[in-house]
Amino acid sequence: MTAIGFGIIGAGIMGERMLRAALEHATDSVTITGLWDPSPAARTRLDASLPGLNWFADPAALIAASDCVYIASPPASHLEHAGAAFAAGRAVLCEKPLSSDVPAAERFVAAHATARAAVNFPMATSFAAERIRTWLAEGAVGTPRTLAIEVAFAAWPRTWQRAAASWLDGRAEGGFTREVVSHFLFLSHRLFGPLALLEGRATFPSGGRSETAVEARFTAGSVPVTLHGSVGTTAKDDSNTWTLTGDAGAVRIRDWAHAERLVDGAWQTDPAALPQDKARPLVLKRQLAAVAAMTRGEPHPLATLSEALAVQHVVEAILAA
């Protein structure tokens, strides 16, 4: 099939990652029409390593030239750019969260229920999540009993995100609950059903910075879930586990990309698992193939606006507790 025209709004970390995945791994699915970012520094940085990129003067021009628009700008601008793309009849892949403003996101999702739209939760196409689904189907867990999500960071933002600390470490839009925990909430919601927060607590430092710790109890369908997250409690840039225990066994995802199964009291890693730095571009390739299908109006596995809103409800409720 003909590759779809794919334009990118936002040339930060995620914009660059998706751009490189498209250029290096997904040319059969998408053709980059160009980029737009209000920061001259972002353009200079990308042009130094990827000369010849097509930069648009404004978002409207990029939208007009694209079949699908990837919105990788800070969260406060997501709904504005997505609305403009929908008004022009374009498909949208949006970064999460849709917005930190829950009522605004609710109105937006209700107004665009039939739009060609998806939200970039790579757990929808990740190899680790796929292996977990296979193990579940094979009965490796049996009846799920508990689910535990744990995340920890040496510092926030993580080393590779510090250039965006102005909003990533702000209470209004940033923090690890929105940026990291949300991925595991999405996976829990998709596998087991609607999320319902029972109790939550967030700890914030002074000066309007993002949270340094969260704890929560909620349910995903009928499965009880616990969440623990903290900053400054590990030497690792990023440490995370999503652990499901049932009456017949246990499985987990460790550090994004490693699907593991508990066998005779020891965790055994899926032999096909790749390190996250190797897995990420290949997962993005799968995301982009699904984006092309979504843009053509075909079935796809990507996260829907409604799923993203369900995750946002829980995230913002925890942060408000």
Span 38-75, pLDDT tens digits: 999 999 999 999 999 999 999 999 999 999 999 999 99
Residue with tokens 């996260």: 303
- For the chain, what is the domain count? 2
Same domain, 158 and 269: yes
pLDDT band of 276, cuts 50, 70, 90: very high
Same domain, 221 and 268: yes
pLDDT band of 12, cuts 50, 70, 90: very high
* Rg, C-alpha atoms of the chain: 19
Which residues constitute the domain of residue 208? 124-274+310-320
| Phi, psi (degrees; rounded to nearest 5) at 176 | -75, -20
Instruction: Provide the CATH number for the domain around residue 169.
Output: 3.30.360.10
Per this entry, what is the length of the chain? 321
Token pair of 241 as six digits: 């586990």
Same domain, 80 and 168: no
Same domain, 138 and 262: yes
Q: What is the pTM of this model?
A: 0.97
Token pair of 289 as six digits: 């193939």
State the Cα angle at 230 between 226 and 232, rounded to 5°: 155
Q: How far is CA 196 from CA 4, 175, 210, 212, 215, in A?
A: 38, 21, 23, 23, 14
How high is the pLDDT of residue 99? 92
Query: Which among 250, 232, 72, 101 is positioned nearest to 156, based on CA atoms?
Result: 232
The helix or strand, by DSSP H or E, that contains position 187, with its residue range, turns out to be helix 182-192
Report, as an integer, the average pLDDT of 74-90. 97
The answer on pLDDT for 301 being more than 90 is yes
Same domain, 75 and 93: yes
Same domain, 112 and 129: no
Instruction: Provide the CATH number for the domain around residue 72.
Output: 3.40.50.720
The answer on pLDDT for 97 being more than 80 is yes
Same domain, 285 and 191: no
How high is the pLDDT of residue 160? 94
Report, as an integer, the average pLDDT of 104-115. 97
How high is the pLDDT of residue 100? 87
pLDDT band of 321, cuts 50, 70, 90: confident
Report, as an integer, the average pLDDT of 207-220. 97
